[in-house]
Amino acid sequence: MRHEIILSPEAVADLGMLKANVRALVRDALEQYLRNEPAKLSRSRIKRLRGYARPQYRLRIGDDIRVFYDVTELAVEVIAIVPKSETVKWLERHGESDETGGPVRIDE
């Protein structure tokens, strides 16, 4: 099933701040990995974030870019596009706990 890819205003701004060649890589990766099977986990590319209700998933693009997103039945909402060096800080500010009381884990 094809999912609609929706970029939040923050994600649009994040995308606009990237160099053109990196922006093209991000667009290609969004299409390749999130259009048809956004919740299909892999060893390193797509991870389900434990301890978070939002964002639900992280997509690794190359060595330096991380995309945080949520999945619904019909759509993928890209919440943010963040450099790897800023992922922990971004999740501390914007991540929403799933309220299970379990540890929050970020798999890089």
pTM: 0.87
Does the structure show a pLDDT above 90 at 3?
yes
Instruction: Identify the weakest region by mean pLDDT among 28-32, 38-42, 66-70.
Output: 38-42
The position carrying tokens 């991380």 is 66
* Number of Cβ within a 10 Å radius of residue 42: 11
Residue ranges of the alpha helices (H) in the chain?
A: 9-16, 20-29, 87-94
> What CATH number does the domain located at 4-97 have?
3.30.2310.20
Tell me the average pLDDT across 101-106: 49
Tell me the average pLDDT across 82-107: 77
Which pLDDT score is estimated for 61?
Answer: 95
- The whole-angstrom separation of Cα 15 and Cα 79 is 11
Does the structure show a pLDDT above 90 at 105?
no
* Number of Cβ within a 10 Å radius of residue 94: 15
Domain boundaries, the chain: 4-97
pLDDT tens-place string over residues 42-80:
888 999 988 888 899 999 999 999 999 999 989 999 999
- Tokens standing for 23? 């922006």
Handedness of CA 37, 69, 14, 85 (dihedral sign): negative
